[in-house]
Structure 1
Amino acid sequence: MLNRYPLWKYLMVAFVVIIGTLYSAPNLYGEDPALQVSAIRGHDVKVDTLDTVKKSLDTAKISIKSAVLENNQILVRFNNTDDQLQARELVTQALGDKFITALNLAPATPEWLTSIGASPLKLGLDLRGGVHFLMEVDMDEAINKAQEQLVQDFRTSLREDGIRYAGVRRAAGDVVVAFRDSDTQQKGLAHLRKRHIDLTLTDYEDKGQFWVKASMSEAKQKSVTEDALEQNITIIRNRVNELGVAEPLVQRQGTARIVVELPGIQDTARAKEILGATATLEFRLVDENADAAAAMNGQVPPNSELFYDRNGRPVVLQKRIILTGDHITGSSSSADEYGRPQVSIKLDGVGGNRMSTATKDSIGKAMASVFIEYKPVGEPGADGKRRIEKHEEVINVATIQSRLGSDFRITGIDTTQEAHNLSLLLRSGALTAPIQIVEERTIGPSMGQANIDSGLSALGMGTLILVIFMAIYYKLFGVVANIALMFNVVLMIGVMSMIPGATMTLPGIAGIVLTLGMAVDANVLIYERIREELRAGRGVQQAIHLGYERAFATIADSNITTFITALILFAVGTGPVRGFALVLMIGILCSMFTAITGSRAIVNLIWGGRKVKDLSI
């Protein structure tokens, strides 16, 4: 029988509509002003921390909607932004500098929706508000690190080739190697020229000692700084991904700066800590012959350095670095068999070989893991920059029980959260050079709300005009098209809410408006085809059937070509362009379903299989 769907198809349409409605529903509940409390590295958020927060707010008679401790963070919800802002100052004072208190907007989604994974649509920086960072890479430190690496490489390669040298060190921006005689000097020069063709190498004699000087050319220095910038951009992208920010923008600006935009960031202070921290590890052998007390008084052996652990205890380590964090390819936090936090580390092939070579003759000796972090401190100077401070801390000293390779673990970490943060930084990669935030702008929710209001106003006006036109021009069939149009919007929002990482921006709202026009266009093609069939003398049922069937090819062609264009935009575009393309692709798929399958299901329910003399079209 014409124009009758089988039961399964009606159930399918109903199922899709119900699921789309459920997953778009969280967008109706809005958000609560909230505070998010998290701990800095080395500390933990506990139940007594939550008690302190509640007590400080009760004392000030600030009412709260809820306060919960989850995932090592405290989330406190308020009734209005005035209470939120006042509470932030009180909580910050009550907890001190061991915790980070950040402003937040927490979704007010009911628990029954959250239990099925439904969440509000993520909004971009232009709608949600968020943070804009301008970060600058310390290129001088990038050059210094490259030269330090050359010192290590020279020592290793000369030793492996059996060439005896008196010393390798940095001097006035160059790396110099001392030899005891001219023959060894020439062997060393030939060896280094073969291994390092991108360096300028010269030999000379000074005060009876024979030297080889290695200098970086301008091209080499430019290559180092370019690599540092590109690597830092990649690593910052990885760190942003670890923070779970949807649709972030990370891009280069000039020769030494990086722009980072984090829409709807939930913990601004934590973002700054993670993005700005330059963290890595160094593995060194402990100088077991040194006297730590004497070292504290300045009597440090020439081939050793004095460090301290987190409890302030001195540890004397050899200057020779077994391995740096540059060779770390992966890390994860877990607990050992006794429940103590630990970090498992994976090395690349070169790192694994170096670790194996260094530890095969050091079984029974102590090896230390040194955590190194660069952080901006103090107030910005006249140039807008803050002083970069290097913080070094021995986090673990362990006896080497067996020869180590590409996989091993470090312990001695105080808390699970600290292990997680350390793992995150190492997994994201060690920044080639320190980086600091030279500019920070917060785009407030009020500006975002103004954009939302403008976008919704445009969407509402466009939709209203379409609805009125369809109802007047196509009568009852126009009402059917309008119902399908409304379901199309619901489905789009539901799908966007379900996709991890999908973000709605102002161009995305433009994509919705465009999609609504295309959805109505599909119905117009179908209805005009039905009219043609009726004018040709077809029966009502046959006209409806042929109208949908013969218009399908035209609708599919136009939508497929538009979909391919949107797919290309999504593949090559960035930021708002990708957001627009994603909304357009989702909108095309949803409109194809609602305009063809959905509207026909309604038409079939009303007119299908019945004797109808005239159509309201």
Structure 2
Amino acid sequence: MAAPKKGRRQPGQGRPGRALALILIALVALTGGMFLSGHTTPRLGIDLAGGTSITLQARSEPGQESAVNQTNMNTAVGIIERRVNGLGVSEAEVQTQGTDHIIVNIPKGTNEKQAREQVGTTAQLFFRPVLQLASGEPAPEGSPSPSASGSPDEAEQGDGDKATEGGDKATDGKSGEPEATPTTQGRAASGALKADATPSPSASADGKADPTPSPSASEGGSDEALMKKFEALTCTDTKERTAAAEGTKPSEPMVGCGQNSAGQWEKYILGPAAVAGTEIDDASAVIDERTGQWIVTMDFSSKGADAFSKITSELKTQQPPMNQFGIVLDGEVVSAPSVQTTLSKSAQISGSFTQESSQELANMLSYGALPLSFVEESVTSVTAALGGEQLEAGLIAGGIGLILVIVYLVVYYRGLSLIAIISLLMSAALTYTIMVLLGPAIGFALNLPAVCGAIVAIGITADSFIVFFERVRDEIREGRSLQPAVARGWPRARRTILVSDFVSFLSAAVLFVVTVGKVQGFAFTLGLTTLLDVVVVFFFTKPLLTILARKKFFASGHPWSGLDPKRLGVKPPLRRARRTVPADPKEA
């Protein structure tokens, strides 16, 4: 069969140069993004980087000992896992141990300290009205200790501290622009709660005690024990803060502490719980389109909306600080916004939020309401020594396997092995850069099972090359030259490769869905490398072989090209036999 004329593109060849340029540009862009992001190595999981292991013990409320059951424990595991991973700490492991313990493993990395703090705040979330507010910092030597009498001077001090957090303007959720609301101290209320334009106040049906601030409590006239506890409380002392909230029932008033944005401690007297955190359907941090500031939005259930509407309609008529709500998690006031109008099913918390602080508050509101309370029983540091040894052994095994694959390719495919090796390097480069970028993007962390998935992917990728090469060699055995063989062999090889990779990707997807923890790392890596195998074969291996098929070394069937006709047992092309007519036909 005559060889095709030089420079003429065969049917099905396409434009291989464009495909190669496209994938090379993609690799350069990914590499540039990796260096611009400041991350040049993948994030590591707890088994490779070490981290912190926290043991939590479940405790039920008095008279509710049966609450510590498998159902509530599983619910708590799900909430804690979402809460921790909601902070960007991926690969955090949360699992039960025994009947009343939960183990939380947090790998080293971004937000580890913050995640540990959030894991420790595992009690129920409540909205409580603020009855009294004062500075929680210890009084300087020689100055009179702050009292809780509710005098204007003290109220102004507390309000001034909160104004740092909430800003000097508050909105009522109805007007389009912020409107300053002067207080008795001559300044705007701190923070704001905004609702939809048509609130629907209704009576609370939850049967809880009326959270309306009691004059006697706010003036320090009746509950002497609570007032003494409030006056003696120093919020900078961790033990005092913890002891102050212990044993308090939702239906009882309490004292608690919270920090403003300046990091200063403030102490509160809080009324009975008006709304439980379980009544929050959703909470998220968003940017207010009107002001460009970060806010936290909340959506309540129908029961929660009724209770919220009732208490906010009462609080909006109070003077600061008794028009404020304390959002209490594990006995600590995580936020204390003021109320400007009656609120219903939807509300917004606005103030001097940053993206981080708004997302943290939204995360607490979304995942803070656990069915049980927990105490931190132990905290231990996990070293990466064992994982490092296993990783080293795994990399040695993977290296040996890769060397054997390369040796096989060189011995059997000779010149074609160069295409396979370069394609493997391209696949490895794409996999590495994408894994590095996925760390800061989605919190992907590389653990031992994920490394195992990457090693398994070497065989999947090499198998695709072999399928393509064998299809081309089959065409050459049929007597075709190299360029037509590549053009005709690719469609059949393509179908086989796609079917094989689809089965592999489907297996990885099912494994990712039905498993938890580290096994998901294996499934994710296997699925990612399977998709990259399709990209590399389509946009790199096939175009590269198409270009090299025009070179004399491969097109002529050089013995070291891997396409030697003699070694392949090429069949001679079929030729039509000529019919000869005798010059002098004999008579019959």
- Partner residue of 2:383? 444
Structure 1 residues 463, 541: CA separation in 2 closer, same or farther (over 3 Å shift)?
same
- Partner residue of 1:369? 325
Alignment deviations for residues 361-420 of structure 1 (CA, whole Å, 9 cap, x no partner): 67624444234343xxxxxxxxxxxxxxxx45596485x654321234567999997665
Q: 2:23 aligns with which of 6, 16, 37?
A: 16
Structure 1 residues 403, 543: CA separation in 2 closer, same or farther (over 3 Å shift)?
closer
Q: Contact 2:45–2:446 (CA<8 Å) still a contact in 1? A: yes
- Partner residue of 1:114? 37
**How far did 1:306 drift?**
6.2
- Partner residue of 2:128? 283
Q: What does residue range 180-219 of structure 1 map to in structure 2 within 5 Å?
A: none
- Partner residue of 2:107? 263
Partners of 2:475 and 2:337 in 1: CA distance: 85
Of 323-332 and 480-489, deviating more is 323-332
Of 481-490 and 547-556, deviating more is 547-556
- Partner residue of 1:2? 10
- Partner residue of 1:612? 555
- Partner residue of 1:386? none
Partners of 1:338 and 1:538 in 2: CA distance: 71
Q: What does residue range 293-312 of structure 1 map to in structure 2 within 5 Å?
A: 293-295=220-222, 297-298=224-225, 305=253, 307=255
Q: Indicate yes or no: 2:501 matched with 1:559.
A: yes
Structure 1 residues 415, 590: CA separation in 2 closer, same or farther (over 3 Å shift)?
closer
**How far did 1:350 drift?**
0.8
Structure 1 residues 3, 565: CA separation in 2 closer, same or farther (over 3 Å shift)?
same
Q: Contact 2:476–2:482 (CA<8 Å) still a contact in 1? A: yes
Structure 1 residues 461, 271: CA separation in 2 closer, same or farther (over 3 Å shift)?
same
- Partner residue of 2:471? 529
2:109 is paired with a residue of what secondary structure?
A: coil
Alignment deviations for residues 299-338 of structure 1 (CA, whole Å, 9 cap, x no partner): 98xx98464676898876654x322222223445689999
Structure 1 residues 407, 230: CA separation in 2 closer, same or farther (over 3 Å shift)?
same
Q: 2:454 aligns with which of 505, 508, 512?
A: 512
Partners of 1:448 and 1:540 in 2: CA distance: 49
TM-score between the two structures when normalised by the length of structure 2: 0.63
Partners of 1:490 and 1:608 in 2: CA distance: 27
- Partner residue of 1:355? 308
Q: Contact 2:277–2:365 (CA<8 Å) still a contact in 1? A: yes
Q: Contact 1:3–1:541 (CA<8 Å) still a contact in 2? A: no
Partners of 1:436 and 1:449 in 2: CA distance: 32
Structure 1 residues 503, 288: CA separation in 2 closer, same or farther (over 3 Å shift)?
same
Q: Contact 1:21–1:491 (CA<8 Å) still a contact in 2? A: no
Q: Contact 1:132–1:441 (CA<8 Å) still a contact in 2? A: yes
Structure 1 residues 373, 482: CA separation in 2 closer, same or farther (over 3 Å shift)?
same
- Partner residue of 1:328? 280
Q: What does residue range 441-520 of structure 1 map to in structure 2 within 5 Å?
A: 441-499=380-438, 500-520=442-462
- Partner residue of 2:56? 135
1:243 is paired with a residue of what secondary structure?
A: coil
TM-score between the two structures when normalised by the length of structure 1: 0.61
1:122 is paired with a residue of what secondary structure?
A: coil
Structure 1 residues 262, 19: CA separation in 2 closer, same or farther (over 3 Å shift)?
farther
Alignment deviations for residues 122-177 of structure 1 (CA, whole Å, 9 cap, x no partner): 32222232223332221x22xx4xxxxxxxxxxxxxxxxxxxxxxxxxxxx4xxxx
**How far did 1:3 drift?**
7.5
What amino acid maps onto 1:614 in structure 2? G
Q: Contact 2:326–2:337 (CA<8 Å) still a contact in 1? A: no
Gaps of 5+ in 1: 27-108, 145-172, 174-215, 375-390
Q: Contact 1:21–1:490 (CA<8 Å) still a contact in 2? A: no
1:294 is paired with a residue of what secondary structure?
A: coil
Q: Contact 1:286–1:367 (CA<8 Å) still a contact in 2? A: no
**How far did 1:427 drift?**
2.6
Q: 1:538 aligns with which of 480, 484, 488?
A: 480
Count of paired positions: 434
Alignment deviations for residues 278-310 of structure 1 (CA, whole Å, 9 cap, x no partner): 36233332112446343574498xx98464676
Partners of 2:48 and 2:226 in 1: CA distance: 60
2:480 is paired with a residue of what secondary structure?
A: coil
Q: 1:430 aligns with which of 369, 376, 388?
A: 369
What amino acid maps onto 2:126 in structure 1? L
Alignment deviations for residues 85-107 of structure 1 (CA, whole Å, 9 cap, x no partner): xxxxxxxxxxxxxxxxxxxxxxx
Q: Percent identity?
A: 24
Q: Contact 1:130–1:264 (CA<8 Å) still a contact in 2? A: yes
Structure 1 residues 515, 287: CA separation in 2 closer, same or farther (over 3 Å shift)?
same
Q: Contact 1:131–1:442 (CA<8 Å) still a contact in 2? A: yes
Partners of 2:486 and 2:529 in 1: CA distance: 25
**How far did 1:246 drift?**
1.9
Partners of 1:535 and 1:436 in 2: CA distance: 73
Partners of 1:417 and 1:550 in 2: CA distance: 53
2:516 is paired with a residue of what secondary structure?
A: coil
Partners of 2:26 and 2:17 in 1: CA distance: 14
**How far did 1:339 drift?**
11
What amino acid maps onto 1:479 in structure 2? L
Structure 1 residues 12, 318: CA separation in 2 closer, same or farther (over 3 Å shift)?
same
**How far did 1:119 drift?**
5.6
**How far did 1:546 drift?**
2.9
Structure 1 residues 436, 16: CA separation in 2 closer, same or farther (over 3 Å shift)?
farther
Of 571-580 and 420-429, deviating more is 420-429
Q: Contact 2:317–2:323 (CA<8 Å) still a contact in 1? A: no
2:215 is paired with a residue of what secondary structure?
A: coil
1:504 is paired with a residue of what secondary structure?
A: coil
Structure 1 residues 501, 613: CA separation in 2 closer, same or farther (over 3 Å shift)?
same
What amino acid maps onto 1:607 in structure 2? A
Partners of 2:82 and 2:516 in 1: CA distance: 16
**How far did 1:509 drift?**
2.1
Structure 1 residues 16, 137: CA separation in 2 closer, same or farther (over 3 Å shift)?
farther
Q: Please state which structure has a larger fraction of its residues in strand.
A: 1
Q: Indicate yes or no: 2:46 matched with 1:125.
A: yes
What amino acid maps onto 2:453 in structure 1? G
Q: Contact 2:315–2:324 (CA<8 Å) still a contact in 1? A: no
Partners of 1:261 and 1:608 in 2: CA distance: 57
Structure 1 residues 538, 318: CA separation in 2 closer, same or farther (over 3 Å shift)?
closer
Q: Contact 1:282–1:322 (CA<8 Å) still a contact in 2? A: yes
- Partner residue of 1:591? 533
Q: Contact 1:286–1:315 (CA<8 Å) still a contact in 2? A: no
What amino acid maps onto 2:556 in structure 1? K
Alignment deviations for residues 476-513 of structure 1 (CA, whole Å, 9 cap, x no partner): 11111111111111122233334424332222222222
2:127 is paired with a residue of what secondary structure?
A: strand
- Partner residue of 1:253? 97
Partners of 1:270 and 1:508 in 2: CA distance: 26
**How far did 1:573 drift?**
1.6
1:262 is paired with a residue of what secondary structure?
A: strand
Gaps of 5+ in 2: 1-8, 130-211, 228-250, 259-263, 563-588
**How far did 1:344 drift?**
4.8
**How far did 1:275 drift?**
0.8
What amino acid maps onto 1:327 in structure 2? E
Partners of 2:56 and 2:527 in 1: CA distance: 34
